[in-house]
């Protein structure tokens, strides 16, 4: 077996789609002698910001000298990105060996793609003797394959309407699914959530005898910076390693989690972790400046809250460009009407595209949505060629590629090739 056939095997498991429930993953982990029980973990869920917050936590721990596993999804360029130790991707050989050793079990029981990925991550982190593993949920929380761990802390970054057909059609229902990661007597940390969602976490934390930490109780926010006060420490955050005012909050949440859970209080190392997050964890797609002149920005804003967060940052600079151009692609289950309507105010031209992914909105679907909203759009097929030619112009225009991580990953792959 080589890496191509190994990944083909993993990707083929997507045909079984999502099986919500923990029986399959529990049986698989029992087969592997429960590696998830042999590692210290921090579990992170949320509609937006969970990948960034996970990366900030991992980066800070690395600055303190710890060996840190980081499990995130989806990936941009290749599967290995999902599983890292101190920023280094899992090797092809590790993936191949895992599948070869467990081939009979996989063939017989047919775990899903995400169950295999999660089990592989747990086994790799356990075998590598990481000090801590930061685990991001895939979808929801309660029935997510990662919800087989007993973490040191449960973290909820944000709550917004997403995956309505699976998680529920109200903030309370979605919060209830995310609250499913809360374990008895494990501290819970929440970002700044809508009140109706916050009530759900307060109720669940009380029922499970968990101390609940609300970020807002430790935060003073100002125009261009914020101040976090906890553990008799005061951290003033003006700028972090990822762009956007919202990233200040994600960084603050990461600091709060580590100070209250592990009592890490070295100011210099904490701020180094916040500043060096990209170098330490290789996080991508968060208001990522792919090119400077002309400006090309990649942002994995995949839902309405993400688009609003993107625009809060983009508003600061869009007027300085002669022309703003958008390449947009998203999933079918997102509020594409509202997202396109908001984005239309800031772009002179909007291109739409799609990806080879089963949940992706097709070009025809996006055209129909745009037409009903009186938004002019144009299909773009050769994305990489257009971006390459745009970069060569050296113009004072701005090109934004925005939407699902699958879209950004597809484009990055083509650009690299």
Which domain-ending residue is among 281, 309, 339? 281
Write the DSSP assignment of 362-389 as a string of letters. Answer: PHHHHHHHHHHTT---EE---HHHHHHH
Range of the domain at 178: 3-281
Q: Are residues 209 and 329 in the same domain?
A: no
| pTM of the full structure | 0.92
Interatomic CA distance for residues 281 and 88, integer angstroms:
8
Interatomic CA distance for residues 138 and 334, integer angstroms:
16
Element holding 136 (H helix, E strand) = strand 132-136
Q: Are residues 237 and 293 in the same domain?
A: no
Q: Contact, 111 vs 25, CB < 8 A?
A: yes
Q: Are residues 128 and 224 in the same domain?
A: yes
Q: Are residues 251 and 361 in the same domain?
A: no
CATH number for 307: 3.90.190.20
- For residue range 287-297, list pLDDT tens digits in order: 999 999 999 99
Q: Contact, 366 vs 352, CB < 8 A?
A: yes
Q: Are residues 348 and 237 in the same domain?
A: no
Q: Are residues 45 and 176 in the same domain?
A: yes
Q: Which of 322, 328, 359 is nearest to 342 (CA)?
A: 328
Which domain-ending residue is among 217, 249, 281? 281
Which domain-ending residue is among 263, 281, 299? 281
Q: Are residues 201 and 330 in the same domain?
A: no
- For residue range 90-145, list pLDDT tens digits in order: 999 999 999 999 999 999 999 999 999 999 999 999 999 999 999 999 987 899 99
pLDDT over 80 (residue 33): yes
Count of domains for the chain: 2
Q: Are residues 93 and 223 in the same domain?
A: yes
Please report which confidence band the pLDDT of residue 265 belongs to, taking 50, 70 and 90 as the band edges. confident
- For residue range 222-255, list pLDDT tens digits in order: 988 999 999 888 999 999 999 988 999 999 999 9
pLDDT over 60 (residue 392): yes
Let me know how long the chain is.
417
Q: Are residues 294 and 225 in the same domain?
A: no
Q: Are residues 332 and 400 in the same domain?
A: yes
């Amino acid at each position: 077996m080589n890496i191509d056939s190994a990944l083909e095997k993993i990707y083929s498991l997507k045909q079984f789609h999502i099986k919500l429930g923990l029986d399959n993953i529990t049986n698989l982990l029992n087969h592997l002698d429960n590696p998830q029980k042999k590692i210290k973990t921090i579990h992170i869920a949320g509609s937006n910001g969970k990948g960034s917050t996970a990366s900030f936590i991992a980066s800070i721990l690395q600055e303190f000298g710890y060996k840190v596993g980081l499990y995130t999804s989806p990936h941009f360029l290749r599967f290995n990105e999902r599983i890292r130790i101190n920023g280094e991707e899992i090797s092809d050989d590790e993936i191949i060996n895992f599948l070869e050793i467990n081939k009979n079990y996989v063939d017989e029981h047919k775990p899903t793609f995400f169950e295999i990925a999660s089990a592989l991550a747990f086994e790799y982190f356990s075998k590598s003797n990481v000090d801590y593993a930061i685990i991001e949920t895939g979808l929801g929380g309660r029935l997510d394959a990662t919800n087989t761990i007993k973490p040191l802390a449960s973290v909820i970054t944000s709550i917004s309407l997403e995956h309505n057909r699976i998680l529920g059609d109200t903030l309370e229902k979605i919060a209830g699914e995310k609250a499913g990661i809360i374990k008895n007597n494990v501290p819970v940390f929440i970002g700044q959530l809508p009140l109706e969602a916050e009530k759900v976490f307060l109720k669940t934390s009380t029922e499970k005898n968990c101390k609940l930490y609300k970020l807002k109780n430790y935060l003073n926010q100002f125009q261009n910076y914020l101040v976090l006060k906890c553990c008799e420490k005061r951290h003033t955050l003006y700028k972090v390693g990822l762009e956007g005012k919202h990233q200040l909050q994600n960084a603050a949440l990461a600091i709060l989690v580590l100070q209250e859970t592990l009592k890490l209080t070295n100011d210099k190392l904490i701020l180094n972790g916040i500043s060096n997050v990209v170098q330490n964890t290789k996080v991508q797609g968060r208001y990522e400046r792919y090119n400077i002149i002309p400006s090309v920005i990649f942002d994995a804003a995949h839902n309405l809250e993400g688009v609003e967060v993107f625009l809060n940052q983009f508003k600061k600079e869009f007027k300085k460009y002669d022309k703003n151009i958008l390449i947009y692609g998203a999933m079918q289950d997102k509020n594409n009407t509202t997202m396109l309507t908001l984005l239309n105010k800031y772009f002179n031209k909007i291109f739409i595209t799609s990806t080879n992914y089963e949940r992706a909105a097709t070009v025809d679907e996006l055209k129909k949505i745009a037409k009903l909203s009186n938004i002019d759009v144009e299909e773009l097929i050769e994305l990489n060629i257009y971006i390459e030619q745009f970069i060569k112009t050296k113009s004072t225009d701005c090109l934004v590629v925005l939407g699902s991580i699958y879209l950004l990953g597809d484009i990055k792959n083509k650009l690299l090739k």
